[in-house]
Amino acid sequence: MIIPKKLEKGDKIGVIAPSNPITEERLEAINESILLMESSGFSIEFGKYVFQNSLGYGATAKQKAEDINKMFENKEIKAIFCATGGANSNSTFEYLDYELIKNNPKILCGFSDATSLTNMITQKTGLITFNGPTFKALTSWQTPYGYEQVMKRFVKQEISLREEDDEFITLQEGIAEGRLIGGNLSLAAGMSAGSYSLDFTDKILFIEELFLESPPEMVSHYLYEMKQNGVFDKIKGIWVGNYEGSIALEKILFDTLQQEYKFPIIKSNNFGHTEKKQVIPIGTMARIDTSKVNKIELLENCVK
């Protein structure tokens, strides 16, 4: 795997919009994030098309991909954040220059719809990417947790996946090691088959879902899609994150698994569409041990 370099004060951070564009209603949070990161010693550069809304739902796929490619090509940019969530970052796949990205490794961070982009880039290039706050989410939630995790992970190179007050519970006992893969459930499920499918072999799958967009029956759909495409036959373990639906995500998961799988399953409250946004490296080796307080731990550095 390719490990990106850590952030240093004075570095320039690039912002792209592979999902929804930055619109007027998002500007306040975006501006607050600019001030926060500048006060932390960084400068900010936006992609050419982050405000573009020519399609009515964002810039074109080629424009989005152009911004991504140029951010990786730009030697002054040391890390890249997705501006916000939304949809259709997968539209960029066929226009990305994966060789360019591989030869210019740097931090790439986002969650929700960015699940498609981060996992595909890791799949195609071997670059460690990150499921963590979008640029907007650095200040748009009522807690500094996400920002603090960004600083700990990207600046201080800390590798803990748990803060002292983060609650972890065991859903199915066991021990497993594997590289981390996943993020938003609906996106991960959509990448379980097809020409841009992910390789789930020997991975630890982490999943969360936004209940406002995915009621329990849709969560069941996504999980069965993964089951029917053989994902649960390949993985080593599951880490369940936030879902605030009327039926718990773990219950729907067990309804899907039907006691057919014996790998360890854990749950925590510190990633997903929630105020706590842990920065989870995609592609890094991790270990689940349900007998420990820290039920999941990274086995290697994810920035250098």
Of 154, 182, 214, which one is at a domain's C-terminal end? Answer: 154
Least confident of 140-144, 191-195, 199-203: 140-144
Burial class (CB in 10 A: 0-12, 13-18, 19+), 94: exposed
CB 85 within 8 A of CB 19: yes
Indicate whether 23 and 149 sit together in one domain: yes
Beta strands 237-240 and 203-208 are parallel
Q: Of 99, 132, 154, which residue constitutes the final position of a domain?
A: 154
Q: Inform me whether the pLDDT recorded for 242 exceeds 90.
A: yes
What's the CA gap between 84 and 17, in Å, rounded? 7
Q: What's the whole-number mean pLDDT along residues 79-87?
A: 96
- For residue 245 the two structure tokens come to 């639906």
- pLDDT mean over 175-195: 97
Is 280 a domain residue? yes
State how far the Cα of 113 lies from the Cα of 126, in Å rounded to an integer. Answer: 20
Could you tell me if residue 304 is inside a domain? no
Neighbours of 76 (CB within 10 A): 10
Q: What is the CATH number of the domain that holds 270?
A: 3.50.30.60
pTM: 0.96
Residue 130: per-residue pLDDT: 98
Average confidence (pLDDT) over 189-197? 96
pLDDT for 99: 98
Q: What is the mean pLDDT of residues 26-38?
A: 95
Domain boundary residue, one of 107, 123, 154? 154
The structural domain count of the chain equals: 2
Q: Identify whether residues 47 and 145 lie together within a single domain.
A: yes
Please tell me the predicted confidence (pLDDT) of residue 117: 98
Range of the domain at 183: 168-298
Judgement on whether residues 23 and 148 belong to the same structural domain of the protein: yes
Query: For the residues of the chain, what is the DSSP string, one character each?
Result: -BPPPPP-TT-EEEEE-SSS---GGGHHHHHHHHHHHHHTT-EEEE-TTTT--TTSSSS-HHHHHHHHHHHHH-TTEEEEEE----S-GGGGGGG--HHHHHHS--EEEE-TTHHHHHHHHHHHH-B-EEE---TTHHHHSSSSHHHHHHHHHHTS----S--TT--EEEEE--EEEEEEEEEEHHHHHHTSSSTT----TTEEEEEE--TTT--HHHHHHHHHHHHHTTHHHH-SEEEE----SSS-HHHHHHHHHTT---S-EEEESSSSSSS----EEET-EEEEETTSSS-EEESS-S--
- pLDDT > 90? residue 136: yes
Percent of the chain with pLDDT over 90: 97
Residues 246-304 have pLDDT tens digits of 999 999 999 999 999 999 999 999 999 999 999 999 999 999 999 999 999 999 999 99
pLDDT at res. 134: 97
Residues 25, 85 within the same domain: yes
The proportion of the chain whose per-residue pLDDT surpasses 70, expressed as a percent, equals 100
pLDDT tens by residue, 203-235: 999 999 999 999 999 999 999 999 999 999 999
In a domain, 138, yes or no: yes
In a domain, 5, yes or no: no
Q: pLDDT at position 108, please?
A: 98
Q: Does the pLDDT value for residue 142 go beyond 90?
A: no
Whether residue 148 is found in the same domain as residue 266: no
- Residue 162 domain flag: no
Q: Are residues 19 and 148 in the same domain?
A: yes
pLDDT at 226: 98
Q: Are 150 and 27 in a shared domain?
A: yes
Rg of the chain, C-alpha, whole Å: 18
Rounded to whole angstroms, the Cα distance separating 117 from 17 reads: 11
pLDDT in tens, 90-99: 999 999 999 9
149 and 178 housed in the same domain: no
Q: Mark whether 262 and 238 lie in a shared domain.
A: yes
Do 179 and 285 lie in one domain? The reply is yes
